[in-house]
């Protein structure tokens, strides 16, 4: 394990003013996104879509520290034959790769899931490193409902995340550890706090047991928010205060950075909440974004599968990347949204 390189890459991923573009939608998920804008999902349309984002110079050079790719994309070439990975590197950004194989029902734990993909992972990592990946992502999913999550399911998912992180580092790849507590359902902000606190405590115990080098990791968590169907919604300041509180209770300061998922928050809302967190306190971690939907919703809509829309779509992508870059420094304001 090259600890110096791991620590340097992890710091670059969360450099002030920058964050991560999660463009690692599986073929099933990207089809859903394309269905919504009336675009057929083919290898070429997926390539065209991702290519215009990776060629958006101002966003990629100024605000996007790294891009999480899907297995198909890390092997794909741009229309002119240049590997997509090379476009990302040429912009000074880091290629990353989603390596989990998705969630499956967890036997004996009704309504709960386990993330799969550990078998053969070390060999896959070595190949991804050769293809250019310098960081990876593994997402565990924790749902809140009556009687769940259980301690057993949280433990199983935290152990898988820790095994994955250790395998990443053995291959000189920085692990993004992502334990996502979903915002589906009607639970309160307080319940999200309690579940997330337990999940993060368990996760850092397991990372310790697995001897993971924390300086060479990035945490990708949810914010502390009420469920989408909860009658009492929260302000950005309330979300920021509880999100900061939970990290102070659970995340070691050896971790260089925290990069949030957007998880179904509207795009400007995800920016406003990140900004509120960074305005509220001087934190011992760089706190930024690793957004999928909150970065891509606007450019996807503007593109709608047409070459003639690419410039407008790139503008929409640049704008969201810039707004989130400002939010990562607590320098965003609503008036900049135009
Ligand atoms: P969202 O920001 O759309 O939640 O996606 C981020 C991600 O990578 C989830 O694993």
Rounded (5°) CA angle 261-137-39: 70
Please determine, for residue 170, whether its predicted confidence score (pLDDT) is greater than 90: yes
Residue 220 Cβ < 6 Å to ligand 1? no
| 220 catalytically annotated | yes
Please determine, for residue 186, whether its predicted confidence score (pLDDT) is greater than 90: yes
3-class DSSP assignment, residue 218: strand
| 237 catalytically annotated | no
Instruction: Name the band, by pLDDT with cuts 50, 70 and 90, for residue 251.
Output: very high
Please determine, for residue 338, whether its predicted confidence score (pLDDT) is greater than 90: no
Whole-structure pTM value: 0.98
Q: How far apart are CA 262 and CA 168, in angstroms?
A: 24
pLDDT tens-digit series, residues 265-282 = 999 999 999 999 999 999
Q: Out of 18, 98, 137, 220, which one is annotated catalytic?
A: 220
3-337 CATH choice from 3.40.50.1460, 2.70.98.10, 3.40.50.300, 3.20.20.70: 3.20.20.70
C-alpha dihedral, 152 to 156 to 162 to 163, nearest 10°: 150
Residue 139 Cβ < 6 Å to ligand 1? yes
Q: Locate the ligand 1 atom nearest the alpha carbon of residue 270 and give its number.
A: 2
Q: What is the DSSP letter of 78?
A: P
**175 sits in which H/E element:** strand 174-181
Q: How far apart are CA 278 and CA 273, in angstroms?
A: 9
Q: How far apart are CA 181 and CA 183, in angstroms?
A: 7
Return the domain boundaries, the chain: 3-337
Residue 195 Cβ < 6 Å to ligand 1? no
Q: How far apart are CA 246 and CA 291, in angstroms?
A: 20
Residue 221 Cβ < 6 Å to ligand 1? no
Tell me, in angstroms, the distance from the centre of ligand 1 to residue 16's CA. 20
Instruction: Name the band, by pLDDT with cuts 50, 70 and 90, for residue 4.
Output: very high
Angle between helices 293-303 and 267-280 (to 10 degrees): 150
With pLDDT > 70 as the criterion, what percentage of the chain qualifies? 100
pLDDT tens-digit series, residues 72-109 = 999 999 999 999 999 999 999 999 999 999 999 999 99
User: What pLDDT does residue 178 have?
Assistant: 99
Tell me, in angstroms, the distance from the centre of ligand 1 to residue 157's CA. 18
Residue 178 Cβ < 6 Å to ligand 1? yes
Query: Mean pLDDT over residues 194-222, rounded?
Result: 99
């Amino acid at each position: 394990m090259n600890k110096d390189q791991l620590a340097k890459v992890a710091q670059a991923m969360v450099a002030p003013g920058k964050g991560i573009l999660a463009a690692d939608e599986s073929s099933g998920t990207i089809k859903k996104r394309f269905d919504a804008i009336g675009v057929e999902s083919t290898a070429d349309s997926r390539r065209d879509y991702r290519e215009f984002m990776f060629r958006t110079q101002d966003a990629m050079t100024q605000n996007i520290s790294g891009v999480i790719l899907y297995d198909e994309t890390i092997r794909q070439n741009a229309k002119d034959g240049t590997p997509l990975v090379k476009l990302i590197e040429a912009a000074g950004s880091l290629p990353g790769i989603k390596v989990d194989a998705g969630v499956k029902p967890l036997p004996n734990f009704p309504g709960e899931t386990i993330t799969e993909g550990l078998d053969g992972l070390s060999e896959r990592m070595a190949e991804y490193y050769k293809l250019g990946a310098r960081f990876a992502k593994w997402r565990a999913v924790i749902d809140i409902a009556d009687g769940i999550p259980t301690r057993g399911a949280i433990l199983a998912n935290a152990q898988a995340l820790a095994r994955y992180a250790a395998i990443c580092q053995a291959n000189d790849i920085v692990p993004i550890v992502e334990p996502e507590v979903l915002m589906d359902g009607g639970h309160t902000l307080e319940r999200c706090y309690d579940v997330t606190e337990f999940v993060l405590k368990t996760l850092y115990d397991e990372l310790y047991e697995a001897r993971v080098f924390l300086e060479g990791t990035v945490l990708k968590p949810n914010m502390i928010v009420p469920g989408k169907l909860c009658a009492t919604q929260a302000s950005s300041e309330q979300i920021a205060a509880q999100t900061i509180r939970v990290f102070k209770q659970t995340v070691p300061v050896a971790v260089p950075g925290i990069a949030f998922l957007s998880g179904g928050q509207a795009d400007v809302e995800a920016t406003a909440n990140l900004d509120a967190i960074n305005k509220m306190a001087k934190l011992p971690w760089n706190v930024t974004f690793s957004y999928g939907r909150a970065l891509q919703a606007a450019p996807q809509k503007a593109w709608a599968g047409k070459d003639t829309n690419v410039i407008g779509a790139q503008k929409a992508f640049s704008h969201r990347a810039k707004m989130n870059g400002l939010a990562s420094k607590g320098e965003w304001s609503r008036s900049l949204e135009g």
